[in-house]
Amino acid sequence: MYQDAKEEIEQLKVQLQEMQNVHKITESSLNADLESLKAELSQKSQLQTIISKLEQQLSVVDTKHKEEISFILDESNRNNKMYQDAKDEVEAVKVKISRNATNVYKTTESSLQRLGSEDRCWQETRV
């Protein structure tokens, strides 16, 4: 009976050592996983900081872009107005020139008719 108890204790001792080895392996694996997760968490934290900075930069760039678009549209509208004003002015000058040309033509025609009638009178008096 003493021998049986001793063998049983030895078997339990071996089983406990095996269980301890399994627990040590599991603990090592869990510690490795924990370190890996810590490293991953640190990387994610760093990435989150970078993402936040990039989002801020994007916001600034987006605001500047909208301001530039607004400026370009304002300039385009101003240029279109200047073009339309110049076009209207050219059209007004064309109308004025046309009227002046018509007046010059009428004045010239009237002068030529007067000269023609004076010339006839002069020719008649010569005869």
Could you give the C-alpha distances from 8 to 12, 19, 124, in angstroms and in order? 6, 16, 167
Q: Where are the domains of the chain?
A: 1-91
**pLDDT of the chain along its 127 residues, tens only?**
878 888 999 999 999 999 999 999 999 999 999 999 999 999 999 999 999 999 999 999 999 999 999 999 999 999 999 999 999 999 999 999 989 888 887 788 777 677 666 656 656 665 5
Q: Which two tokens stand for residue 76?
A: 């385009």
Question: Phi and psi of 31, rounded to 5°?
Answer: -65, -40
Q: Which two tokens stand for residue 21?
A: 């080895």
